[in-house]
Amino acid sequence: MNWFDDSIMARKGVARGKAGETYAITEESQGKYHYVYGAFVDPILRVDPGAVVSAETHDAFEGAIRHETDRPSEILNFPYLNPQNGPIWVNGAEKGDTLAVYIDSIVPRGPQPCGTTVIMPEFGGLVPTHDTALLTAPLPERVKKLHVDPVTGVKWNDRITLPYEPFIGTIGTAPEIEAISSLVPDYYGGNMDLPDVAPGAVIYLPVNTAGAYLYVGDCHAAQGDGELCGVAIEHPTVTTLKIDLIKGWTIKTPRLENDKFFMTIGSARPMEDATRQAYRELIRWMAADFGFDEIDAYMLLTQCGRVRLGNMVDPKYTMGASVLKSIVGSPR
């Protein structure tokens, strides 16, 4: 049996995780991309649970950085960054439910070199920023354009080629009353930049308002832990999602499931708080659904929990905490 058939999505989803109607969001049908996560705009699409949606995502710069001689600080127009497809209204979704999104595939699109990474002022993990506000001069700006190929990988230089390991940098639902920049990760998802949000995984997202308002964008062709300089291998893609809805399952922050593990995701500063969020939710999950007493789960994760640093560069840092399915078994 495929692990997915035993996933929470397949067992609890309104559509039982099965594919329903298919939809395509093209650049044209999307029209205006969005820079905030919120419910103040009209949905681009209304779907039933089970819908399979392919979206033409832009890179985080909406394609504006084309040449290695470009200067990001002159081209980019903050806060109009990290354009998002959507929002997608999911029929039947209400506050307190959970959206289950299976990531089916991510395929690069557009002319080569379609990958972009940059150094820009006041952004990144090892430079002064708006928050870690220091007096030292910024690093020189730099743009690197890279050939991205799903088979041969991401060509860094003549000597180094990185494997193509794509994932979704930004995905989430609308907050209940807010509209928050797509640069921010938080309890509703958003700009988590967590490499586990990859094809073959299911991400579970809290529904905060009727219809859920699912957004997606910002796919990365490769990224290390922390997205250190702030910019992964950004690239435009066709990203295909299967969307289901779990009624009456309320989660506080995003969760993830793949063939190997269950993960909870925290976003906060400082980084220990993101880690605490993730681990506390994992403990509570183990207590609620896997038959552990809370203290026992705390002690067990001390011995076998794993953490994955998503980003250490966005307005909140993102950390995933996970436990192997081989250890905790299946949830109720």
Q: Among residues 240 and 264, whose Cβ is nearest to a second copy?
A: 264
Residue of 30, 236, 8, 4 whose CA lies nearest to 114? 236
Q: Does 270 bind a second copy (CB under 8 A)?
A: yes
For 213: left if phi > 0, alpha if psi spans -120 to 50, otherwise beta; the answer is left
Q: Give, as ranges, the residues between 299 and 318 that touch a second copy (CB under 8 A).
A: 299-307, 309, 312, 317
> Least distance (Å) from a second copy to the CB of residue 115?
9
Selected from 229, 241, 243, 251, the binder of a second copy by CB under 8 A is 229
* Angle, vertex CA 126, rays to CA 121 and CA 129, nearest 5: 45
Q: How far is the CB of 13 from a second copy (least distance, A)?
A: 27
Copy the structure tokens of residue 154: 């991401």
Q: Closest approach of Cβ 304 to a second copy, in Å?
A: 5
Interacting residue with a second copy among 177, 200, 288, 330 (CB under 8 A) = 177
103 binds a second copy (CB under 8 A): no
Residue type, 57: T
- Is residue 103 within 8 A of residue 203, CB to CB? The reply is yes
**131 touches a second copy by CB under 8 A:** yes
CB 30, CB 44: distance < 8 Å? yes
Quick one: which segment of 17-25, 98-106, 196-204, 278-286 binds a second copy (CB under 8 A)?
278-286
Say if CB 213 and CB 174 are below 8 A apart.
Answer: yes
Which CB atom, from 151 or from 160, has the smaller least distance to a second copy? Answer: 160
224 binds a second copy (CB under 8 A): yes
In this chain, which stretch among 21-29, 89-97, 255-263, 296-304 interacts with a second copy, using CB under 8 A?
296-304
> Which residue type is seen at 6?
D
Q: Does 231 bind a second copy (CB under 8 A)?
A: yes
Please provide residue 163's backbone torsions phi and psi, each rounded to the nearest 5 degrees: -65, 150
Rule CB under 8 A: choose which of 134, 151, 158, 248 binds a second copy.
134
Q: How far is CA 112 from the centre of its chain?
A: 24
- Cα separation, 224 vs 193, in Å, equals 10
Q: Which stretch binds a second copy (CB under 8 A): 47-55, 88-96, 104-112, 140-148?
A: 140-148
